[in-house]
Each structure stands twice: as C-alpha cells, then as structure tokens.
Amino acid sequence: MTRLLSALALSIGLATVAAAQAPVEIKAHTALVHAVAFSPDGKFLATAGFDKTAKLFEHTNGQLKEIRTLTGHTDPVYCVAFSPDGKILATASLDKTIRLWNPADGKQAREIKGHTDVVDAIAFSPDGKLLASGSGPADKTVRLWNPADGKEVKNFGAAAGANSKSTEGHAGTVYSLAFSPDGKLLASASQDKLIKVWDVPGQKLLKELKGHEDGVTGVTFAGDNNTLVSVSQDRTVRVWDVGGGKETKKLGPTPDDLFAVCWAKGTKALATAGYAGNLSVWTLAEPKPAFAVRIKSPTYCVTFAPDGKSLVSGHDNGTVQYVKR
C-alpha cells in the first residue's frame, strides 16, 4: 500500500505494439487509476479509481467512450475484473469489500465481505466459478469465493485457531493474483518478495518461488500452465518454471520500479508498467523490450485488449490517453 501514497490523480495510456502515435487524451477519474480490465469480447473497458468509483468505457473502432459510473464503494477502488463470460464485473476497495455488478445496467448484484483490510487484488477462475482475492498488511490472506452466492470457499493463510499462526500465508500485502489457464493453479504475488502457487482443487500451498529482492507487484501465466512471469519493485522481470519451482530467466534492470504485468495470448507478448511512466512490450525471447513508450505520469496497471495488439495502462494525471494503431 505504501507504493501508492504519492499518487494524487490518474490517467490511462493506451498504446499499440505496432505503432506509437501521440496519445489522444480523454478525461477519466479525478484520482489515481489502480486497475484496468477489458471485457472478454473487447467491447468494454473497466477502470478502478481512487475517487471511490469504477467506470465503464465503450471500446469501438479504436475509440473509448465513457458510458457508466459505478458508485457504492466508500473508499478508493483498487481492482476491476470481468468474469470469463463478461456478465459480471467485480470491483474491490480499500473499504474491505468486493462488489459484483451487472455491466449491462450498472446495478450492483452482490457485496462480498470478509477481508479485514484493503482488497488489493482480484481474479476470476477461467470457468468463472471462483473469484480469488488478496488483501493488505493487516489481513495478508488469499481467499476464494463463490461469485454465485458470495460465500467464502477457502481462506489461504488464515490461522487455524485463535492462538495459532499460519505457516502458508504471505507475510505482507498481496499485490497480484493469476489463475493458470486450466484453473488448477493460483499464483499470488506479495510485498514479502515471494510468489506462492496454490493448488486450487486441493486447496493447499503447492510451491513457493523465491528470487525477487523487493516486493512482487505483478504476476501472470504466460501461455501455459507451467510458465509464470512476475515483476517487482526490484526492477526485474522474471520467468519461472512452476513445476520445477525454478527461475528460468531474468530481464532487466528496467528504468523504474515495476507495478504491473499482463500477457497477450494471441500475440504471445508481455506488457509491463512502471512508476516512472514506462510502458513496455516484451517477447520474452529478447533481453530488451520490443516496444516502449514513456507517459509522463506514474503507471500502476496495464492490460492488453483481447486482440493482443492494443493495451491500456493506468496512471495518475487525470486523463485517458489513447494511441491508435
């Protein structure tokens, strides 16, 4: 959470791998945007703002048009995530709640409570039957929920009793979560410099990946169930063999602390975003980015459009910046 204290406003920068035209600025939230997510069909973009709102933008013909503001959270919104069928939008907040919305009309369908601190990360399983969440320093847990009824399925890292301490859970804020393509694994990245890989069907810790020298701020599976990519405030991108529990590649150092990472399945590209405003696209086969652009505002999140050719990143200068192919 300390990584966000200097942010005062927000922006979203959109760029393409194939071109780097000047961004077209569109006014968005009135405070930092901490997360962005495209709907599975690419027709909508959701944003999470520190102005306590989430917003929906229509994405057509290479343009973004704001269509809806979702209100209800009582503190800054940290996360947004669409269900695999696009029928549910999940948001999470400093107010310790997760809320589920109907993107079609903007109405709240459910409020999920249980975390005792900020909900800093959320992710739907590939089949949409589970919603994972990760929380801040006073909580530190990774939890699984049933989005159909809002009930908790599993609390990874919870103490077994009033006087006991967990040996599996993280020792710091959970910054990022990612399900494997088959939904059997869940990776969590934390301020404690660790990545934990959880066995979802078995509901237990499977692997612990060590190597980063500072907080791990982003994690994503890269094309298969065994290749995991992480980014950190240590300014490195690392590739992991989950089965072997080993680091296979390290890229960097990057120009700034990295806060986000995402993978494009179709184009097999990786995007990273950093605090100095650097937005980069990597192939993982090369030691340097294939494409990079710097936006003069700290960058906190990044996501590819479903086509894998365009991407959106969230900043803190109060605009939506769009770069057309």
Phi/psi of residue 149, nearest 5 degrees? -125, -5
In this prediction, residues 265-277 reach a mean pLDDT of 92
pLDDT mean over 64-84: 96
* Inside any domain, residue 61: yes
The pLDDT confidence band at residue 17, using thresholds 50, 70 and 90, is very low
Lowest mean pLDDT among 2-11, 28-37, 61-70, 205-214: 2-11
Q: What is the pLDDT of residues 217-251, one digit of tens each?
A: 999 999 999 999 999 999 999 999 999 999 999 99
Q: Is residue 270 part of a domain?
A: no
Q: What angle do CA 250, 195, 316 make, to 5 degrees?
A: 80
CATH number, domain containing residue 123:
2.130.10.10
Q: How far is the C-alpha of 221 from the C-alpha of 292, rounded, in Å?
A: 22
Residue 271 lies inside a defined structural domain of this protein? no
Domains in the chain: how many in total? Answer: 1
> Residue 152: pLDDT above 90?
yes
- Mean pLDDT value of segment 156-165: 52
Could you list the residue range(s) of the whole structural domain that residue 256 is in?
A: 2-263+277-322
Average per-residue pLDDT for the chain? 89
The predicted-structure confidence for 275-303, as pLDDT tens digits, reads as follows 998 889 999 989 999 988 888 888 899 99
Q: Is the pLDDT score of 5 beyond 90? A: no
Domain assignment present for 45: yes
Structural domain includes residue 30:
yes
- Residue of 157 and 287 predicted with greater confidence: 287
Per-residue model confidence (pLDDT) at position 320: 63
